[in-house]
Chain A
Amino acid sequence: MEIEIIAFGKIAEFIRGQRISLTAVSDTEQLRKYLEDSYPLLSGTKYKLAINKRIIQQKTAIQNNDSVAIMPPFSGG
């Protein structure tokens, strides 16, 4: 399965936008673990995942060609 990753804010500094091929990842819980293992800086950061532009609030299945956004909180004003 192949998905698109889009990261924002400070997270984009260590996860660039890319398409990745996944094996043994079928839902957002597994994806979270996969991303945090691949990018250790992510595990120390608050972020929200969105699949196909919908914020994820519970374990959600991931499909081929899904677009996954990783959004951190901003506080600046």
Chain B
Amino acid sequence: MEDERYHRQIILEGFGPIAQQKLAKAKVLVVGAGGLGCPALQYLAAAGIGLIGIIDNDTVALSNLHRQILYTSDDLGQLKVVVAKQRLQLMNPGIEVVIHPLRLNAQNILQILESYDVILDGTDNFDTRYLINDACALLKKPLVFAAVSGFEGQLSIFNVTDDQGIRTNYRDLFPVPPLPGEVPNCADNGVLGVLPGIIGTMAASETIKFISNTGKPLINKLLHYNLLNNQQYELKISPARDYELPQTEAELLNKHTGSLNTTEETYSEITGTDLQRMQEEPSTILIDVRERHEQPGLNTTVFRQTPMSEFRQFMETDIEENNIIVICQHGIRSAAAAKELSRKYGNTKNIFSLKGGIVKWYAYF
């Protein structure tokens, strides 16, 4: 470990090298690389969390930039997870950052969450929040919950047994999700950029405190913060008995399938810049679906030639890699191929199509 990088927190009384070691060994998954996720990721990475996972399937939009401070005006249209990973690795090359460019659903969540020690929920909708809560309860994973509304924020740690043997989750506060539209989100309601900055940073702080066993993390407590008057209000949560959590994967699927939009495409379109960054990712296969005579020719050791005329045959073999990037001349055939692949692999693999194809990509140079 680079002791000098972490020197100022290692010399801190009540923290020290043992706490730093705990951070280095920890695996934290941040769900949502948005207003809450960005500041949380920055501090988790800077503090030396050994492995950070990031889940988000969204691309950077201009209206994100006032609060999603990992991104710049040059990143518009790019996958958030790809840009976030690049920035975090620049900040701290000593940690590992794993990206999941997808949307969580009942089919993929347990497999993804399983390998992490702590989950930080920085999502922006109730469907995903309840899904994460139920999956974390099922897997008994500590869940750092952070959410904002208007000028206010909420923060808590769920699924951790306190010294009195009590363990609570989000359903102990709100047993059933509000109906769509019942509670406004940031897009409809607006949010001052600094608010998720504060709450996301507090979520990182709770994560660090919890992992390093420092201070009193918000276990079985809900902290409410009001930016307008700087008031905090802390509530003690006790278990409710008016709800049922899914006890098995089948029950989780049953409870959460249909509530999330499962008809959306399970592949994403990426830009040439994304492609260049993503081809460095481990377990990535690049597939060129153009016919063999088409120009410009690409390095066939990097881009596996699989013309559309041979694609049916190719679909009968199994792809080992986790990330599949499909390209063609204009991004139309590759989208069709990506759709075929997503029908076969569903959410078990990350599937991408190069938007605008090679023609648009070459225009970058």
Cβ of A71: which chain B residues have Cβ within 8 Å of it? 173, 222, 224, 235
Q: How far is the CA of A45 from the CA of B124 in the complex (A)?
A: 19
Given contacts A75-B183, A77-B186, are A69 and B123 in contact (CB under 8 A)? no
Cβ of A45: which chain B residues have Cβ within 8 Å of it? 182
Q: Are B241 and A46 in touch, CB under 8 angstroms? A: no
Cβ of B238: which chain A residues have Cβ within 8 Å of it? 54-55, 57
Given contacts A75-B129, A77-B146, are A8 and B36 in contact (CB under 8 A)? no
Q: Are B37 and A77 in touch, CB under 8 angstroms? A: yes
Q: Which of B213-231 contact A (CB under 8 A)?
A: 222, 224, 226
Cβ of B234: which chain A residues have Cβ within 8 Å of it? 53
Cβ of A10: which chain B residues have Cβ within 8 Å of it? 149-150, 183-184
Q: Are A75 and B222 in touch, CB under 8 angstroms? A: no
Q: Are B235 and A54 in touch, CB under 8 angstroms? A: yes
Cβ of B224: which chain A residues have Cβ within 8 Å of it? 8, 71
The 0/1 profile, CB within 8 Å of B marked 1, for residues 53-68 of chain A is: 1110100000000000
Decide if A40 is an interface residue (CB 8 Å cutoff). Answer: no
CB < 8 Å neighbour of B154 from A44, A69, A74: A74
Given contacts A10-B183, A45-B182, A55-B222, are A76 and B237 in contact (CB under 8 A)? no
Q: How far is the CA of A75 from the CA of B172 in the complex (A)?
A: 16
Q: Which of A16-74 contact B (CB under 8 A)?
A: 44-46, 48, 50, 53-55, 57, 69, 71-74
Decide if B148 is an interface residue (CB 8 Å cutoff). Answer: yes
Cβ of A48: which chain B residues have Cβ within 8 Å of it? 173-174
Residues of chain B at interface, number, CB under 8 A: 46
Cβ of B191: which chain A residues have Cβ within 8 Å of it? 76
Given contacts A46-B182, A75-B147, are A57 and B241 in contact (CB under 8 A)? yes
Cβ of A72: which chain B residues have Cβ within 8 Å of it? 149, 183
CB < 8 Å neighbour of A77 from B32, B152, B174, B222: B32
Q: Are A77 and B183 in touch, CB under 8 angstroms? A: no
Residue of B nearest to A54 (CB): B236
Q: Are B235 and A55 in touch, CB under 8 angstroms? A: yes
The 0/1 profile, CB within 8 Å of A marked 1, for residues 231-262 of chain B is: 00111111111100000000000000000000
Q: How far is the CA of A76 from the CA of B174 in the complex (A)?
A: 15
Residue of B nearest to A45 (CB): B182
The 0/1 profile, CB within 8 Å of A marked 1, for residues 139-164 of chain B is: 00000001111101110000000000
Q: Which of B27-85 contact A (CB under 8 A)?
A: 32, 34-37
Q: How far is the CA of A3 from the CA of B236 in the complex (A)?
A: 19
Q: Are A76 and B173 in touch, CB under 8 angstroms? A: no
Given contacts A8-B152, A46-B183, are A76 and B235 in contact (CB under 8 A)? no
CB < 8 Å neighbour of A75 from B125, B226, B241: B125
Q: Are A53 and B236 in touch, CB under 8 angstroms? A: yes
Q: Are B237 and A77 in touch, CB under 8 angstroms? A: no
Q: Are B123 and A57 in touch, CB under 8 angstroms? A: no
Decide if A5 is an interface residue (CB 8 Å cutoff). Answer: no
- Chain A's nearest CB lies how many Å from the CB of B7? 33
Cβ of B123: which chain A residues have Cβ within 8 Å of it? 75, 77
Q: List 22 A-B contacts (CB under 8 A).
A: A6-B233, A8-B224, A9-B149, A9-B152, A10-B150, A10-B184, A46-B174, A50-B235, A50-B236, A53-B233, A54-B236, A55-B173, A57-B238, A57-B240, A73-B174, A73-B178, A73-B183, A74-B147, A74-B153, A75-B147, A76-B147, A77-B37
Q: Other than A73-B183, A77-B36, give 11 A-B pairs with Cβ distance below 8 A.
A: A6-B233, A10-B184, A48-B173, A55-B173, A57-B242, A73-B174, A73-B178, A74-B154, A76-B186, A76-B189, A77-B147
Interface residues, chain A, with chain B CB atoms under 8 Å away: 6, 8-10, 44-46, 48, 50, 53-55, 57, 69, 71-77
